[in-house]
Amino acid sequence: MGALEIRRRIAAKEISCRELVEEALQKIAATDPGPDGIQAFRHVSAETALARADALDRLPKGDDALPLHGLPIALKDNLCTKGIPTTCGSRILENYIPPYDAHVVECLERAGAVVIGKTNMDEFAMGSSTENSAYEKTKNPRDPARVPGGSSGGSAAAVAAGYVELALGSDTGGSIRQPAAFCGVVGLKPTYGLVSRWGLVAFASSLDQIGPLASDVTGAAMLLDAIAPHDARDATCIPRERPLYTRALGEKPTALRVGLVDAGAREASPTADAVDRAAQALESRGHRIRKIALPHLQYGIPAYYLIAPSEASSNLARFDGVRYGHRTASPADMLDLYMRSRGEHPGGFGPEVKRRILLGTFALSRGYYDAYYLKAQKIRALIRADYEHAFQEVDVILTPTTPEPPFRFGERSSNPLAMYLSDYFTVGANLAGLPAISVPAGSGPLPTGLQITAPSLAETRLLQAARLIEEIGAGAA
């Protein structure tokens, strides 16, 4: 139905918030739990959601002040929710209940949304398949033998399974867009600094952004409107007025200049067809297609996998068994407390998180800093310059979201490098701080995504272009 239509029915009192929430909870109870279920949710807050729905139902008819009035929403489990467990997919936070709400959660409250629960994710958002979760194995609702993508796999699956129209994820190197592509839904990573990260458990602070996953582009715009208000508690949040993205969606972009990347060896990827078809469809409607070069994008993966782990190794130092989460039973001394709380199984960090901490600590250490971390930062600057150059000639850039359609469980999990390559097309936007969106495309039996990237703070243009592609069904054969 889409979030907008549901919102209309609620406002017209054709359905009540309670009915809507009950329906979502029933669907979840019927198909989500257990090893054969989708297992999108880590935690479902049925009682609070129903109480909130009742409170919203008591508001006067047609109250337009609440843009997300009564809409059930799922939250990735790295967003702090007061009184609701927030595990980050990690054993180390198994019993953590935050004493406060993240900025985006406060925003949702103000917008009238109903938080249904918290969704599964790769541990500390490190991964591309949600297989790194220390908990359940989230299935791809489009094909349960395949992964939902990651790290926001639970949020993408919750939308694809029809439990909710809207969900929040976080994206450090592709974690909103890649699972959106794998599950056949829309996923948007905003410009770095558009959405406050206050209350998002940090992975790599210079790359992390919170953003919407939705069943359609309009839903993504509605959710972005709700979470974008400026917040001074995140010093990187850009103090500038935000446009109303849903309003901008009503306007059609005239003659867009669309850039296609000459992707070299990657051009033959199975997802490239969808880009060609979309480009043709756009061209036949009067938009202009241009080839552009992003010559340093090929170094995106190595740069990202040095910068992100470096920042993570520093951010994750706070999980030391003293203030948060798991603490080992009877430590011999302080050092032993740190080492065993973080390292022991079960209770401590999982293998991928340990790998990242080791990688990051190494890259930042004396004697290696210049060769690894600093060099990666130089590549980051070159990638940013590539985009700036390209955006002098085009308005948006069109690429596949992922090199391949969703893979099967276990297919990549034993080979970290193969897993890292899933992020080939997505890390660029994070390294350059740009907004990017994945919209469903492809005609095969498996979902794939088209990625549109726009200049900094050009979310309006990004959403308009995404809506255009959605409307003309570009990418579908």
- Alpha-carbon dihedral of residues 183, 185, 188, 189, nearest 10 degrees? 0
As measured in angstroms, the least distance from the Cβ of 124 to ligand GLN is 8
> Could you tell me where the DSSP H helices lie in 199-264?
217-227, 245-248
Bridge-partner residues for 41, per DSSP? 119
Judge whether 207 and 430 are in contact, CB under 8 Å.
yes
Percentages (nearest 5) of helix, strand, coil residues in the chain: 40, 15, 45
As measured in angstroms, the least distance from the Cβ of 457 to ligand GLN is 20
Query: For ligand GLN, which is the closer residue by CB, 149 or 347?
Result: 149
Count of residues touching ligand GLN (by CB under 6 A): 13
The SS3 assignment for 213 reads strand
Our answer to whether residue 139 is catalytic in this structure is: no
As measured in angstroms, the least distance from the Cβ of 25 to ligand GLN is 28
- Which range in 21-29, 121-129, 229-237, 401-409 contacts ligand GLN by CB under 6 A? 121-129
Structure tokens at 290: 């241009």
Our answer to whether residue 175 is catalytic in this structure is: yes
String marking each residue 289-328 x if it binds ligand GLN according to CB under 6 A: -------------------x--------------------
Q: Give backbone dihedrals phi and psi of 207, rounded to 5 degrees, phi first.
A: -120, -30
Our answer to whether residue 76 is catalytic in this structure is: yes
Nearest Cα residue to 131 out of 404, 342, 412, 405: 412
Query: For ligand GLN, which is the closer residue by CB, 175 or 341?
Result: 175
Rounded CA gap, 49 and 98, in Å? 18
Using the rule CB under 6 A, is 175 a contact of ligand GLN?
Answer: yes
Query: For ligand GLN, which is the closer residue by CB, 180 or 441?
Result: 180
As measured in angstroms, the least distance from the Cβ of 176 to ligand GLN is 7
Interface of this chain with ligand GLN, residues 422 to 451, rule: CB under 6 A: 423
Q: Which one among 155, 172, 246, 448 touches ligand GLN, defined by CB under 6 A?
A: 172
The SS3 assignment for 200 reads strand
As measured in angstroms, the least distance from the Cβ of 412 to ligand GLN is 11
Instruction: Work out the burial of residue 309: count CB atoms within 10 Å of its CB; fewer than 13 is exposed, 13-18 middle, 19 or more buried.
Output: buried
Burial call 88-108: b when 16+ CB within 10 Å, e when fewer: bbbbbbeebebeebbbbbbbb
Interface of this chain with ligand GLN, residues 191 to 220, rule: CB under 6 A: 203
Q: Which of 133, 151, 313, 341 is catalytic?
A: 151
Using the rule CB under 6 A, is 127 a contact of ligand GLN?
Answer: yes
Residues serving a catalytic function are 76, 151, 175
Binding site for ligand GLN (CB under 6 A): 125-128, 151, 171-175, 203, 308, 423
